[in-house]
Structure 1
Amino acid sequence: MSNLTIEERVRAIAEHVVADYGLELVHVEVVGARRRLVRIFIDKPEGVTHEDCSVVSEHVGTILDVEDFIPSSYVLEVSSPGLERGLYKREDYVRFAGRAARVRTREAIEGQRNFRGRIVGVEGDAVTFDDRVRGQISIPFGLIVKANLEIDLAEEFKRAEELAAARRVQTEGEG
């Protein structure tokens, strides 16, 4: 394990810890040189709680202290990826197909590097994306520099209304 970078070692530790708690490891970042910031983003379908973050932070922090491979002091942050979560893995694009997103590429595709629209799905080694300007386009994973979900307020209000209606039906059925 000594040939791995600090970030890779932190990711390996975090993967084991989050798996023990039924959570998903979304992303790991290690930034800074003199005083490092170690960020771990976790998620679960029903949303991450403060308790989830606290438990993961405690366990990962203990392992990092015992293994002592980070050469300087560090700050450990464990949090939810947020509403506009980053998309890092092929599975993210499959899971969030149909959702609004932003994608930035390393190189221009048909003269464009920044895309906004909806994730259609995944085909082979590329994301099929419905861009607001270009229409449907295939974006190879290897060219993606950064990608995030984008909040569509109308969609979020509709989702919240559907959830509230489902809860009312469930409550009425119980009573």
Structure 2
Amino acid sequence: MSKVVDVVEELVKPIVDELQLELVDIEYVKEGKNWFLRVFIDKENGVDIEECGIVSERLSEKLDEIDPIPYNYFLEVSSPGAERPLKKEKDFEKAVGKHIFVKTYEPIDGEKTFEGKLLNFSDRQLTVEIMVKTRKKTVTIPLEKIAAARLAVTFS
């Protein structure tokens, strides 16, 4: 499956670059009996449906030319949404000062899930300010211990 993602990334990168968009993520997953190829794009003020349509159309043409996917699949091109995944170092750098949610592979200070403000990202480590009961506390999370991370929507 990662071979498909690699091929799709190679095909879609020039398209998003030309449109001055950011390629956020690519997923190739089976859900039930259907395969889905999902491409997430973004830009500073968010992407609109027209931009998603252009990327989808151009990528679809490229995929039809080389036919790298052995199964029938649904192609979806969209914004990553408000709870954008954080995967690359640059994602964490851009998220400093924002509210995030992090899941780790193993416990840190007895916990595997953290939600709070990303105070800093340097030397491949996150410093996150979390609330423990009624007190603020900072926790340092090494990048290699992160199973999943995303921006978190807050209602304050």
TM, length-normalised to structure 1: 0.81
**CA deviation digits over 1:34-81, x for unaligned, max 9?**
642000110000110111100000111111111101001111000011
Structure 2: unaligned runs, 5 residues or longer: none
- C-alpha change, 1:91 and 1:81, in structure 2 (3 Å) is same
C-alpha displacement at 1:93, in angstroms? Answer: 1.3
Which residue does 1:126 correspond to in 2? Answer: 125
C-alpha displacement at 1:153, in angstroms? Answer: 2.5
Distance 1:98 1:48 in 2: 22
Distance 1:8 1:139 in 2: 28
Which residue does 1:91 correspond to in 2? Answer: 90
Which residue does 2:30 correspond to in 1? Answer: 32
Paired amino acid for 1:26: V
Which residue does 1:19 correspond to in 2? Answer: 17
Instruction: Map 1:59-70; keep pairs closer than 5 Å.
Output: 59-70=58-69
> CA contact under 8 A between 1:35 and 1:72: conserved in structure 2?
no
Query: Which structure has more strand as a fraction of its residues?
Result: 2
SS at the partner of 1:45?
coil
The number of residues matched between the two structures is: 151
Which residue does 2:74 correspond to in 1? Answer: 75
SS at the partner of 1:94?
helix
C-alpha displacement at 1:132, in angstroms? Answer: 1.9
Moved runs in structure 1, 4+ residues, more than 4 A?
A: none
Distance 1:32 1:102 in 2: 25
Instruction: Map 1:44-55; keep pairs closer than 5 Å.
Output: 44-55=43-54
Distance 1:103 1:151 in 2: 13
RMSD (Å) for aligned C-alpha atoms: 1.6
Distance 2:97 2:50 in 1: 30
**CA deviation digits over 1:100-141, x for unaligned, max 9?**
111001111121100010111211111111122372121111
C-alpha displacement at 1:12, in angstroms? Answer: 2.0
TM, length-normalised to structure 2: 0.90
Distance 1:147 1:104 in 2: 6
Which residue does 1:6 correspond to in 2? Answer: 4
> CA contact under 8 A between 1:84 and 1:148: conserved in structure 2?
yes
Query: Which structure has more helix as a fraction of its residues?
Result: 1
Q: Percent identity?
A: 35
Structure 1: unaligned runs, 5 residues or longer: 155-175
Distance 1:10 1:138 in 2: 34
Distance 1:22 1:121 in 2: 27
Distance 1:100 1:77 in 2: 27
Distance 2:51 2:124 in 1: 33
